[in-house]
Amino acid sequence: MTNHTLLIMRHAKSDWDSKAQNDFDRPLNQRGQKDASKMGAWLKDQNIIPERIVSSPALRTKQTILDVCAKLEKDESEIIWDARIYEARLDDLLQVISEHGKNIKSMLITGHNPGLDNLVNHLSIGRPQYTDTGKLMTTAAIAVLDFGDDVINGKRQSAKLVQLVRPKEI
């Protein structure tokens, strides 16, 4: 990656039947575990290795990014756990990007909807491609945004959405 690149990833499929006491502690289900590893392998195959990784600390997001990092041969110590991403509004996510996106060429942010849908729509030049059922960031989807020579930033329509990859499509 020579241009400034932001990767936006939604957590993989969670287990709604778990005995978790609250939403924050809901784990991935079996499909989620498989999809998280699949998306990590896809990133590695594409040679897309983010310099910085920032994630929500919610259990399902934590499990997702740890599976991805295992495929990318990145250590857990390299992940920045940012609680602002959990239940984040667009303004929260823009603040996270502004703070963590300085002085780097590539960053992966992992979180939740509806915030990530709003973020991709906000940053993308043009309208992103939705699924036939009207979804954008499905579980474990990765949006690859290219800022060109400009730094990673939160300005409206400041990046080209070069790929939006969903587990079912690879």
Using one digit for the tens of pLDDT, what is the confidence trace for 129-165?
999 999 999 999 999 999 999 999 999 999 999 999 9
**In this structure, is residue 165 part of a structural domain?**
no
Q: What distance, in Å, lies between the first and last C-alpha atoms of the chain?
A: 21
Residue 1, domain member (yes or no):
no
How many percent of the chain have pLDDT more than 70?
99
SS3 95: helix
> How far from chain centre, in Å, is Cα 137?
9
Q: What pLDDT sits at residue 29?
A: 97
Total domains in the chain come to: 1
Domain contains 12 = yes
What domain range includes position 135? 8-103+119-143
With cut-offs at 50, 70 and 90, classify the pLDDT of residue 81: very high
Task: Tell me whether residue 3 is in a domain.
Answer: no
Q: What band does 1 get if pLDDT is binned at 50, 70 and 90? A: low
Q: What is the mean pLDDT of residues 61-85?
A: 98
In a domain? residue 169: no
C-alpha 26/C-alpha 151 separation (Å) is 35
| Residue 9, token pair as written in the block | 């990833």
Burial of 7 from C-beta contacts in 10 A (0-12 / 13-18 / 19+) = buried
Band (pLDDT 50/70/90 cuts) for residue 82 is very high
